[in-house]
């Protein structure tokens, strides 16, 4: 860990990994779109509307995954003062907010034709909306103080407290009677979804993951260069 | 031969399916363009700042008086 904590080590490593992830993202999302729009069959009940799943579900997975990363980075940054951890959390947060927004909007567009409503205050939808506000709160707190360190600490504490929302999102469909359907991929006893629908979904999800990884590295590189620029301009703290 | 009319119609769900894909494309490309713009800007500013400073090697040489 200490060696990996070195920002110059990160700059070197990411200069190779970032383009690899970028190319992989383009490839997986390209193939994923083809599978989702042309190859996957229409659902016997939902017809073609089921294709919304291929953007809705991967973005929902990313929304929770990225939040877990933001919270982990925040915790590591607070406890071990790891120089890259806070930067990773800060730079991942806007990306996570973006995935959450895609999840909410595409879910709404799926809800109207299938449930007959754009929105319902059931446990799953509400907890994902809370996740979106946690991201916004994290970003706002991080930038709310003149003293950057205080902002970082306050945002990190919010991110760690907000982790309780993740199991609520995951198990909301089991704990409460929700309009939202139950898990059909990550569940005990394996997926209940047909392989012809599952494969395009997984390809798309891997594409989203690569896209996020490439963009996170890009943003962390910017943040490190920005920190160096500040140090050169205002003197080393 | 592919029936493009039917494809774009999405079995009558066109006004739900395409906006869902559109929002995803918009948000993801928006994040990409924003992040790339930041990257280019800070990279340029840092290069300009470093150019304006004497390098450490040069500074050491000057200190030695060579």
A59-96 pLDDT, tens digit per residue, is: 999 999 999 999 999 999 999 988 899 999 999 999 99
> Is A208 inside any structural domain?
yes
Q: Is A9 within the bounds of a domain?
A: no
Match 């929002």 to its residue by tokens.
B23
Is residue A46 in a domain? no
How many Å lie between the alpha carbon of A2 and the closest alpha carbon of chain B? 26
Taking the C-alpha atoms of residue A184 and residue A105, their distance in angstroms, rounded to an integer, is 21
Query: 3-class SS at B39?
Result: helix
Instruction: Examine residue A74 and state whether it is found in any structural domain, yes or no.
Output: yes
Using the 8-state DSSP alphabet, how is residue B65 labeled? T
In this prediction, residue B58 carries a pLDDT of: 59
Confidence category of residue B66, pLDDT binned at 50, 70, 90: very low
The values of phi and psi at residue A43, to 5°, are -75, 145
Q: How many pairs of residues across A and B have Cβ atoms under 8 Å apart?
A: 85
What is the rounded distance in angstroms from the CA atom of residue A1 to the CA atom of residue A76? 11
Q: Is the Cβ–Cβ distance between A193 and A185 less than 8 Å? A: yes
Q: What are phi and psi of A47, to 5 degrees?
A: 65, -140
What CA–CA distance (Å, rounded) separates A129 from A147?
30
Q: Does A98 touch chain B (CB under 8 A)?
A: yes
Q: Is the pLDDT of residue B1 over 80?
A: no
Decide if A229 and B46 are in contact by the 8 Å CB cutoff. Answer: yes
Closest-CA residue to A211 (of A30, A52, A10)? A30
**Interface ipTM:** 0.92
Nearest CB to B31: which of A42, A98, A109?
A98
Could you say which of A42, A112, A226 has the minimum Cβ distance to residue B11? Answer: A42
pLDDT per residue of chain A (237 residues) written in tens, 0 to 9? 455 568 889 999 999 999 999 999 999 999 999 999 999 999 988 999 999 999 999 999 999 999 999 999 999 999 998 889 999 999 999 999 999 999 999 999 999 999 999 999 999 999 999 999 999 999 999 999 988 899 999 999 999 999 999 999 999 998 888 889 988 888 888 888 888 899 999 999 999 999 999 999 999 999 999 999 998 888 754
User: Is the Cβ pair B46, A55 closer than 8 Å?
Assistant: no
Q: Is A149 on the interface with B (CB under 8 A)?
A: no
pLDDT in tens, B21-64: 999 999 999 999 999 999 999 999 999 998 887 666 556 666 66
Q: What's the count of helices (H) and strands (E) in chain A, helices before strands?
A: 7, 0
- The residues pairing with A47 across neighbouring beta strands, listed in sequence order, are A43
Q: Establish if A20 belongs to a structural domain.
A: no
Residue A57 resides in a domain: yes
pLDDT of A6: 82
Yes or no: say if A81 and A153 are a contact pair by the CB < 8 Å rule. no
CA distance A142 to A131: 17
Alpha helices by DSSP H, A35-147: 53-80, 85-115, 123-142
CB proximity A106 to B under 8 Å: yes
User: Is the overall model pTM greater than 0.80, yes or no?
Assistant: yes
Residue A109 inside a domain? The answer is: yes
**CA nearest neighbour of B15 among A152, A85, A208, A49:** A49
Helix (H, G, I), strand (E, B) or coil at A237: coil
B11 sits in the region (left: phi over 0; alpha: psi -120 to 50; else beta) called left
Asked if the structure places residue A150 within a domain, the reply is: yes
Residue A158: domain span: 27-33+51-186+193-234
Q: Residues of A with CB below 8 A from B49's CB?
A: 229, 232-233
Which of helix, strand or coil describes residue A47?
strand
Number of domains in chain A: 1
């Amino acid at each position: 860990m200490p060696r990996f904590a070195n920002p110059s080590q990160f700059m070197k490593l990411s200069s190779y990994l970032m383009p690899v992830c970028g190319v992989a993202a383009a490839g997986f999302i390209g193939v994923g779109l083809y599978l989702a729009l042309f190859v996957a069959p229409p659902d016997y009940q939902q017809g073609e509307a089921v294709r919304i799943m291929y953007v809705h579900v991967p973005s929902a997975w990313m929304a929770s995954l990225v939040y877990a990363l933001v919270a982990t980075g925040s915790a590591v940054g607070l406890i071990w003062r790891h120089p890259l951890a806070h930067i990773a959390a800060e730079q991942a947060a806007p990306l996570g907010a973006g995935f959450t927004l895609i999840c909410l909007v595409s879910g709404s567009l799926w809800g109207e034709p299938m449930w007959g409503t754009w929105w319902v205050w059931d446990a799953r939808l509400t907890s994902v909306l809370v996740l979106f506000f946690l991201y916004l709160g994290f970003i706002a707190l991080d930038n709310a103080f003149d003293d950057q360190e205080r902002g970082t600490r306050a945002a990190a504490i919010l991110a760690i407290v907000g982790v309780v929302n993740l199991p609520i999102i995951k198990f909301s469909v089991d704990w409460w009677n929700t309009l939202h359907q139950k898990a059909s991929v990550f569940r005990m006893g394996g997926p209940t979804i047909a392989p012809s629908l599952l494969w395009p979904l997984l390809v798309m999800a891997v594409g989203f993951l690569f896209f996020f990884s490439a963009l996170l590295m890009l943003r962390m590189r910017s943040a490190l260069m920005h920190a160096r620029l500040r140090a050169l301009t205002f003197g080393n703290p | 031969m592919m029936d493009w009319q039917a494809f774009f119609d999405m079995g009558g769900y066109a006004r739900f399916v395409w906006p869902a894909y559109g929002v995803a494309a918009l948000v993801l490309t928006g994040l990409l363009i924003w992040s790339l713009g930041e990257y280019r800007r800070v990279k340029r500013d840092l290069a300009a700042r470093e150019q304006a400073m004497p390098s450490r090697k040069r500074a050491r040489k000057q200190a030695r008086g060579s």
